[in-house]
Structure 1
Amino acid sequence: MFDLTGRVALVTGAAQGIGHAVATALADAGATVVATDIRDQSDLGDEIRTRSHDVTDPRRWAEIVDEVADSEGRLDILVNNAGVSGYDQLHELSLQEWNRIVAINQTGVLLGMKHALRLMRPRRSGAIVNISSICGATSVAGVAAYHASKHAVLTMTKNAAVSYAAEGIRANAVLPGWIRTPLTLGQTDELNDAFLDATPMGVGGESADVAAAVCFLVSDHARFITGVDLPVDGGYLAR
């Protein structure tokens, strides 16, 4: 459905789940894809370049974006997908756990946009998609640090959208609901059942559903869309 031939994309957190599906979908649409993660990504296939990447490390961000600049001369698409969850209630949350989640989910997004903009701004073109969560737009009990980080991603996305729109750079966020991934399958049955029971469509989604939304947002079909929060959630946020 989407032709991304000739475009260069960088996707973080691509070893599994949503990131894996996004990297694969972008490559299938014709983009040159650089996929990064701290985990092994060997099953992504030979057509996707993979790199080891801790998104909290600014020096590693600089290295990877510099490598893209040297090899491709451009960066058209950034998908900030890398993220972690955490289940602590606010009164039980340690500062160490808070800092870990915020560093990956929020600071990692900041660093990604900061370095991607180095290549996008001179070309006056680019599309950024930040993966937030339905927990970025509503609240459930617990997961205090996760909520805070995913809310922040929405605000950061809107700031980037209004800051760089005049330079031809778009920034949007995707808010997955309950998506079948290793992360959600590792949650308790009680928590998963609560999310699914509150989903009007009555079922969970697949990583491919989120990947399709990302492909749309980075394509020319979305050329007049920036600063939006797009739920992919089976109607969860419409309740």
Structure 2
Amino acid sequence: MKFSGKNVLVTGASRGIGACVAKNLASYGLKVWINYRSGQELANSVKDEIIKAGGDAEIIGFDVSCEDSFINAIKEIVAKDGRFDYLVNNAGITNDKLAIRMKSDDFMSVINANLKSAFVGCRESLKVMSKARFGAVVNIASIVGESGNAGQTNYSASKGGVIAMSKSFALEGASRNVRFNTITPGFIATDMTATLKEEIKSAFTSKIPLARFGNPSEVADAVAFLLSDHSSYITGETLRVNGGMLM
């Protein structure tokens, strides 16, 4: 897969899955815009790693839940690069608690950060990409957007909304050759899972047919595929990267 001459914005790319996605896409020749909200030092580390490997990257700080900031960020990218080819909506938050203890503000804060922000990113991307009659967006949702999860009514609703929303955008973007797809990761090995006790890890992996956590690189490879020409006839799809936990 080669993306020479094209660019991509990856939100929430200063750490975790987002950082892995950014570095992987840069390895294929994309200029990567690394979004961060508060972790500028981490974002710079990702950028430095990409540049040392011969890639091209810039950092761009903004809060995805702020609509105007997201809009202005895309405008800035277009102004500097003269194009905007791909978006990966990866940024998101959790605020877990049982539904009976969850206040409306707890619910809406996650909806705004995860679903509304993805909507704004998709909408603004479609505006730009439609003019070029080219582009692709990958939205990172979650397995719980399909299965639900106790203690995560807000998060599950936000990610389920992302899945459905992506299909609607796919229908609207198809005539302009702009594709929208979703990835729903299951349990992925991150800094947080590394601190779990072995018995807790075993309890999780016992529910996964492949009997292990996924690697961030496996999500990153799925993102690269869905952005690439190898998936040029795929839009409106939900790709499950969950080791068979949900089929």
TM-score bucket (shorter structure): over 0.9
Q: CA deviation at 1:182?
A: 3.2
Superposition map of 1:1-239 within 5 A: 2-38=1-37, 39-40=39-40, 41-44=43-46, 45=48, 46=51, 47-185=56-194, 193-238=202-247
Q: Distance in 2 between matches of 1:187 and 1:54?
A: 29
SS of the aligned residue for 2:60 comes to strand
Say which SS state the counterpart of residue 3 (structure 2) adopts: coil
- Once residues 151 and 21 of structure 2 are traced to their aligned partners in structure 1, the CA distance between those partners, rounded to angstroms, is 28
Q: Distance in 1 between matches of 2:93 and 2:198?
A: 19
Residue-pair matches, total: 237
Q: Which deviations, in whole Å up to 9, do the C-alpha atoms of 1:108-156 show, x marking residues without a partner?
A: 1011111112210101111000000101111232211111001000011
Distance 1:187 1:151, change over 3 A: farther
Per-residue deviation at 1:63?
Answer: 1.6
- Name the % identity: 34
Which 4+ residue blocks in structure 1 deviate beyond 6 angstroms?
A: 186-191
Residues 1:120 and 1:186: Cα distance change in structure 2 (over 3 Å): farther
Q: CA RMSD in A?
A: 1.7
Shift of 1:51: 1.1
Listed as ranges, the gaps of 5+ residues in structure 2 are none
Contact preservation (8 Å) 1:172, 1:227: yes
8 Å Cα contact 2:126/2:173 also seen in 1: no
Cα distance in 1, alignment partners of residues 199 and 149 from structure 2: 13
Give the unaligned 5+ runs of structure 1: none
- 2:188 is matched by which residue type in structure 1? I
Amino acid at match of 2:99: L
Shift of residue 180 of structure 1? 1.1
What letter is aligned with 2:230? H
Paired with 2:204 and 2:115, the residues of 1 have a C-alpha distance of: 23
Deviation string 1:175-210 (CA, Å, 9 cap, x unpaired) is 101001235457788875543221111100111000
